[in-house]
Amino acid sequence: MFLFLIVVALITFYFLLKKHKKNDLEQFPEPPAKFLFGHALEVSSTTNLLDTFTKFTTVYGSTVRLRLGFILTSLLTTDYKLIEFILSSNQNLRKSLNYTFISPWLGNGLLLSDGAYWKQHRKILTPAFHFEILKQFVQVFQSVGNVLIDNLRKCEESPSIDLHPLVTLCTLDTICETAMGTKINAQKGENNEYVHSVKEMCRIVIDRCLSPIKLFRVTYWMTKDYYIQKKVLHILHEFTTSVITSKKQTKNSKSDDKKSVFLDLLLKFSKDQSLLSDEEIREEVDTFMFEGHDTTASAICFALYALANHPKIQKTVLEEQRELFGDEKDPIIAYQELQNMKYLELVIKETLRLYPSVPMIGRYTQEDFLFEGQVIPKRTNVALYIYGLHRNPEYFPEPEKFDPDRFNNLNGFLPFAYIPFSAGPRNCIGQKFAMLEMKSFISKVIRHFELTPAVPRHELILSVETVLKSANGIKVGLKKRI
Ligand code: HEM
């Protein structure tokens, strides 16, 4: 009887809610949905999400209405004008609800905060990415990159190696050293607990987005992941806090080798202008840790995979390296030389078009707004589907083709059709850092190794796991260059 009453209550609630939401967003088409579940079953796995969303936005309309269960209604869009409208507006800066899963780790860091708080912090943090600061990191990229090459050497002549685990440890070492001035030596197998906790936290976030049980706080509390999260959060926060404390204790707030890392700058702001509390600094450093390693690792691996499978393009990348450095495999590279790797930059741009590390971003509307005669009501989650936008043949002819040269000819190029780093006021603050880091590691690998397609041939299974990855790894063959 009790069960019966619950079912009746749920069904009544469903119809009331459907009626209410339908009135709000009814102008947008809804792909066929399952009773009670909505579209939840179709987006329940990290590997079918892209195909499903691409089908929805190509078959039913560039902006569609989606339902997760019968409670959450969202819009999914690849509509150029809507994306431009949302990203360039100063009114739609709040992130959509699924971002809250990461807030136990990042708190009110730049990625998640909004309103006046976000604006003030964005202003404070922007100078930390000035090129005079970034210049100092080139040396970190080189030393961390040397360890990557050592690790890859252990696998050379192997017909198939999965780059992703090695490159992820490399970018984790890089972000720790540049954000906190701390060497964690993840590539050498040290600090396993911290490295493991970063991985676990990223996994839990995506699991919560996809699992109906973990989606809601009340039911999430009953799962094992809730307890794992508690444990790993303790490790993550304790690690950052201890680095901050020890930095504060050193009289000179500079790292040992006299370069200013992001944390030094944040501590300086907090001392000079009392702008940031210890907790706020911790949240910003944790945000860099999260945003700044998985994103670049995926992009580097996808670029190397594309080069392995496009020998002519790889040859052009190598020729550019030889023009800059001759046959030297480990030259001391200056900031300006990274800037001069123009062809490699096209390769990275094309990689981020086909494999955007962040395949979609979300906004939560704070006001009703009128878009081309249609009302998009307050409190709507809007998912901006970058992956779909980047593969639209209207903007990118032969979209599946890996063709770096398409970025050489930008006549008639529409700026919001290519947004791997998002765009507008909330774009990626770390994009210049990321570009330098990616150029540094990719060029180093190419100078050392000839990349070949993996044997047996490896087809990617793209998977959305907070950032875009491949469920079966990103495999290539490696041959030492003589
Ligand atoms: C290939 C590498 C990267 C890609 C593709 C990328 C992409 C993005 C995208 C799409 C956003 C917007 C997110 C949203 O609106 O929800 C973003 C925001 C952000 N990124 Fe990156 N990112 C990369 C690397 C980095 C790095 C290396 C750092 C830090 C060192 C970083 C720090 C941030 C921060 C702090 C934000 C939030 C900015 C704000 O809301 O004001 N990112 N990134």
CATH of the domain at 175: 1.10.630.10
pLDDT of 55: 95
Burial class (CB in 10 A: 0-12, 13-18, 19+), 295: buried
β partners of residue 374: 371
Number of H helices, E strands in the chain: 19, 11
Atom of ligand 1 nearest to the CA of 179: 30
User: So what's the pLDDT on residue 253?
Assistant: 46
Contact present, 174 and 144 (Cβ < 8 Å): yes
CA gap 262, 291 in Å, rounded? 14
Taking 60 as the threshold, does the pLDDT of residue 1 lie above it?
A: no
What is the number of the ligand 1 atom nearest to the C-alpha of 386? 10
Reported as a single tens digit per residue, the pLDDT across 382-402 is 999 999 999 999 999 999 999
- pLDDT at residue 36 above 80? no
- Per residue in 167-222, pLDDT tens? 999 999 999 999 888 899 999 998 888 888 988 998 898 888 877 788 788 888 88
Determine if ligand 1 sits within 6 Å of the CB of residue 122.
yes
- The protein residue whose alpha carbon is closest to atom 43 in ligand 1 is 428
- Ligand 1 contact, 291 CB (< 6 A): yes
Centre of ligand 1 to C-alpha 422, Å, is: 8
Residue ID of nearest Cα to ligand 1 atom 27:
292
Count of structural domains, the chain: 1
Confirm or reject: Cβ of 111 under 6 Å from ligand 1: yes
In a domain, 373, yes or no: yes
- Span 138-181, pLDDT tens digits: 999 999 999 999 999 998 878 899 999 999 999 999 999 998 88
At 251, the pLDDT band (50, 70, 90 cuts) reads very low
Whether residue 107 lies inside any domain: the answer is no
The average confidence (pLDDT) of the chain is 89
Q: Which two tokens stand for residue 454?
A: 């993996």
| Residue 406 forms part of a structural domain | yes
Whether the CA torsion 262, 264, 270, 276 is positive or negative: it is: positive
**pLDDT for the residue numbered 4:** 52
For residue 12, pLDDT beyond 60: no
Q: Is the pLDDT of residue 453 over 80?
A: yes
* pLDDT score for 446: 98
Domain that holds residue 368: 116-480
The answer, yes or no, to whether any atom of ligand 1 lies below 6 A from the CB of 108, is: no
Among candidate residues 11, 3, 59, the one with its CA nearest the CA of residue 31? 59
What is the atom index within ligand 1 of the atom nearest the CA of 358? Answer: 10
Out of 129, 291, 419, give the residue to mutate to test ligand 1, the one with the largest number of ligand atoms within 8 Å of its CB. Answer: 291
Cβ of 358 less than 6 Å from ligand 1 = yes
- Token pair, residue 187, equals 């590539």
**Atom 19, ligand 1: which residue's CA is nearest?**
428
